[in-house]
Amino acid sequence: MGGTLLFAAGTLIVLLVTPQAGPPGEQVAVVRTDLPTATATLPQPTSAPQDATATTAPIVTAPEALPTVDGGVIAQLLEQPVQAVGGPNPFVISRDGLDPFTIIPDRPRNTVIEYVIQRGDTVSDIAQRFNLEQNSIAWSNDRRQLWTLIPGDILYIPPVDGVAHIAVGDATLRDIAEYYKVDDPYLVIDSEYNQLKGYTPDMVPPVGMRVFIPGGTGENINWSPPIVQGTSGGSGSGTTAAANTVSFNAGPGSCGAQEVGPSVGWQRPLNGYTITRGYAEWHPGIDLAAAVGAPVMAANSGRVIFAGWSDWGYGYAVVLSSGPFQTLYGHMSAVNVRCGQVVSIGQTIGAVGSTGNSSGPHLHFELRCTTVCAATRQRRSRSSSVLTAHASGRCAC
C-alpha cells in the first residue's frame, strides 16, 4: 500500500515538470510569473486531448521589506526650518479691512427712508447724500421743517426725485397725477413705490394714504441758504460749542463767523413800498417794490455777517445778526456796510435795486429766528406781515 502511494506521488511530479506531447505541431506552454497575485497563460488549443491539460499552482512570494530611517536622522530633519516653495506664479488674496470677500451689489432703493437730522445738516447736504434734488426732499416733507433743521427730527427721503402726496378729499389718482404735472396716471398706479395694485385712474385713494408721484413737480421753492449759529471757522457746515457766533455762507459776500450782534427794536426797512409778494412756505420772505436807489434801512440794530454778492439769487445783499434774529436784504443796487460792522436801527445799509434773480426793482426782506424752544421743540412761525413780525421783538414759543 505504501509503495503504491509513493509511486503515485512520483508520477504526479513527473507530469508537473515534463511537457506532454500533443498532436503534431501543437504544444502547451507554461508561463511563470514573479507577481504573487496573478498568473498568465497562453490560449489553450481547441483540439487538445482531454488527458493533455496542464495545471499550475500559484507562486506566493514574501512581501518586500519597507525602508527605515534612523531616529537621529529624523531629529536632525525636524531641527531644520521649513522653507516655503513658491509656485511659478505666486499671488496673494487680500481684502480691505473687514470688508467681506463676497461683493454685494448696490441695488436701487424702492422705499422711503426716515432720516434723522444730524447737527450741522443742510437740505443741500442731505439731497446730495441721497442723490436727489433739494425740491424732492421739500416736496416729501413739511415745508416749514426745512427752514430750521433741528437735530433729532425726521425727514422722509424718497427713493427717486418726485413728490409725496397725502390723499385728502375726493381727488382721483388722475387728478393727483395731473396736479403734479404727470400726464399718465398709470405711471403713479404701476409705480413700485406705491401700493396701488388694482386701482384705476378714476379711483379715489383712501384719505391719509401717502402716494408718491415719481418725476412729479410741486410748487416752486425759493431756496434760501441757512444762517448757521455756533460755527467758529466760517464754513457754515456745522455747529460747535462757540454758540456766540453766526455765519451766512451764500457767496463772495460772506463774512465768515461773526459774533452775534445787538438787538434794540424794530422799524420798517423802507419808508415807501408796495408788497408784491408775501410770505409762503416756498418763499421765506416778502418782496417790497420801490424805486431804484431808494435807501434801505436796518430794521434792527445788528452786526453785518454778509455784505456783497450772493450766489443764491439775491444779487447784492446784506445780512444782519440781531440777537436771536437775522435779517436779510436782497436784490439791492448798492451795499453801504462792511463785514463785522455794527449798525444801528434805521441806519442806511444799501439801496433798492434789481440784481440777482429779480424781475423788477424791489427789496427782498427776510426775518429769521433760529431759536428753538427746548421744552416743546417748536419753531416760531414767521408772519407775512412786516409790522406783525417786527412787533414781537423777540423769539417766543
Query: Averaging pLDDT over each range in 59-63, 275-279, 313-317, which range is the top one?
Result: 313-317
Q: Are residues 268 and 374 in the same domain?
A: yes
User: pLDDT-based confidence at 173, cuts 50/70/90?
Assistant: very high
Please report the pLDDT score of residue 352 as a whole number: 97
Q: Are residues 253 and 374 in the same domain?
A: yes
Q: Are residues 376 and 235 in the same domain?
A: yes
- C-alpha 66/C-alpha 137 separation (Å) is 82
Query: Does 271 have pLDDT greater than 90?
Result: yes
Return the higher-pLDDT residue of 108 and 322.
322
User: pLDDT-based confidence at 161, cuts 50/70/90?
Assistant: very high
Query: Does 176 have pLDDT greater than 90?
Result: yes
Q: Are residues 278 and 375 in the same domain?
A: yes
Please report the pLDDT score of residue 327 as a whole number: 94
Please report the pLDDT score of residue 263 as a whole number: 92
Q: Are residues 371 and 342 in the same domain?
A: yes
Final residue before a domain boundary, out of 153, 179, 214:
214
Query: Does 235 have pLDDT greater than 60?
Result: no
Report how many domains make up the chain.
2
Q: Is residue 268 part of a domain?
A: yes
Measure Cα distances from 106 to 103, 109, 257 in Å.
9, 9, 40
- C-alpha 387/C-alpha 299 separation (Å) is 11
Q: Are residues 187 and 285 in the same domain?
A: no
Sheet containing 286-289: give its strands across.
274-277, 286-289, 362-369, 325-332, 315-322, 302-310, 342-343
User: pLDDT-based confidence at 106, cuts 50/70/90?
Assistant: low
Task: List, for residues 177-207, the tens digit of each pLDDT value.
Answer: 999 999 999 999 999 999 999 999 999 999 9
Please report the pLDDT score of residue 314 as a whole number: 87
Q: Is residue 25 part of a domain?
A: no
Burial class (CB within 10 angstroms; exposed 0-12, middle 13-18, buried 19+) of 116: exposed
Task: Give the lowest-confidence range in 101-105, 241-245, 341-345.
Answer: 101-105
Note whether 142 and 153 are within 8 A (CB).
no
Return the higher-pLDDT residue of 309 and 281.
309
Final residue before a domain boundary, out of 214, 244, 264:
214
Averaged pLDDT, 198-224? 89
Report how many helices (DSSP H) and strands (DSSP E) the chain contains, helices first. 8, 17
Q: Is residue 156 part of a domain?
A: yes
Q: Is residue 328 part of a domain?
A: yes
Task: List, for residues 353-367, the tens digit of each pLDDT value.
Answer: 999 888 889 999 998
Task: Give the lowest-confidence range in 2-6, 190-194, 258-262, 358-362.
Answer: 2-6
Q: Are residues 270 and 346 in the same domain?
A: yes
Q: Is residue 65 part of a domain?
A: no
Q: What is the CATH classification number for the domain harbouring 177?
A: 3.10.350.10
Task: List, for residues 280-303, the tens digit of each pLDDT value.
Answer: 544 567 899 999 999 999 999 999
Please report the pLDDT score of residue 69 as a whole number: 59
Owner of C-alpha cell 504573487: 36
Note whether 111 and 130 are within 8 A (CB).
no
Measure Cα distances from 2 to 10, 11, 55, 187 in Å.
13, 14, 26, 116
The percentage of the chain sitting over the pLDDT mark of 70, rounded to a whole number, equals 58
Q: Is residue 84 part of a domain?
A: no
Q: Is residue 12 part of a domain?
A: no
Record the pTM. Answer: 0.47
Please report the pLDDT score of residue 284 as a whole number: 64
Please report the pLDDT score of residue 121 as a whole number: 82
- C-alpha 232/C-alpha 230 separation (Å) is 6
Helix, strand, or coil here: 259? strand
Return the higher-pLDDT residue of 87 and 367.
367
Task: Give the lowest-confidence range in 14-28, 101-115, 225-239.
Answer: 14-28
Query: Averaging pLDDT over each range in 16-30, 59-73, 91-105, 184-198, which range is the top one?
Result: 184-198
Q: What is the CATH classification number for the domain harbouring 378?
A: 2.70.70.10
- C-alpha 253/C-alpha 345 separation (Å) is 21
Query: Does 349 have pLDDT greater than 90?
Result: yes
Q: Are residues 195 and 256 in the same domain?
A: no
The percentage of the chain sitting over the pLDDT mark of 90, rounded to a whole number, equals 40
Adjacent-strand bridge partners of 369: 325
Q: Is residue 78 part of a domain?
A: no
Task: Give the lowest-confidence range in 89-103, 116-130, 283-297, 323-337.
Answer: 89-103
Which residue, among 70, 158, 164, 171, has the nearest Cα to 114 in the 3D structure? 158
What are the cell numbers at 396? 417766543
Burial readout 162-201 (b: 16 or more C-beta within 10 A, e: otherwise): bbbbebeeeebbbebbeebebeebeebbebebbebeebeb
Q: Are residues 241 and 297 in the same domain?
A: yes
Q: Are residues 209 and 247 in the same domain?
A: no
Measure Cα distances from 320 to 146, 293, 341, 365 in Å.
21, 20, 9, 11
Q: List strand residue ranges (DSSP E) for 113-215, in order.
A: 113-116, 154-157, 162-166, 210-214
- Mean pLDDT estimate for the chain: 74
- C-alpha 231/C-alpha 210 separation (Å) is 38
Q: Are residues 373 and 246 in the same domain?
A: yes
Final residue before a domain boundary, out of 188, 214, 240:
214
Please report the pLDDT score of residue 266 as a whole number: 93
Task: Residue 196: give the domain boundaries.
Answer: 113-214
Q: Are residues 133 and 232 in the same domain?
A: no
- C-alpha 105/C-alpha 168 separation (Å) is 39
